[in-house]
Amino acid sequence: MDQVTLKADLDALTTAQNVSMEEINPVTGLTTRERLLVQRSWQELLKLGRSTVGIEIFDRYFTMFPQYIQAFKKFRDIPVEKLKSHPRLKAHGTTVLK
């Protein structure tokens, strides 16, 4: 999605809902614009498939912080370099993104 399309979509949403783009949600601390951008980003990412995105998120996380694999019982016995192709990671990544 290009920036022009995204801006038009955001403008249409806020006009239809009569919402200020800069209104800050007191719970999240995000403006309406930021919240909508996050939602749209996830919509685009999930077009790749939940398992694909879930695998990528956890693979990058464990590559950057291999020590945290120990917090996940089901991954402890799997070497980091083999984790990305392991069915347990695919199942976990898919579940997390449901």
Domain positions in the chain? 3-46, 50-96
Alpha helices by DSSP H, listed for 1-98, are: 3-17, 32-46, 50-64, 80-83, 87-96
pLDDT of residue 10: 66
Whether the model pTM is above 0.75: no
pLDDT one-digit tens code per residue, 27-61: 999 998 888 889 989 999 999 999 999 999 999 99
Please, what sign has the CA dihedral across residues 16, 17, 20, 25?
negative
Amino acid, single-letter form, for residue 14: T
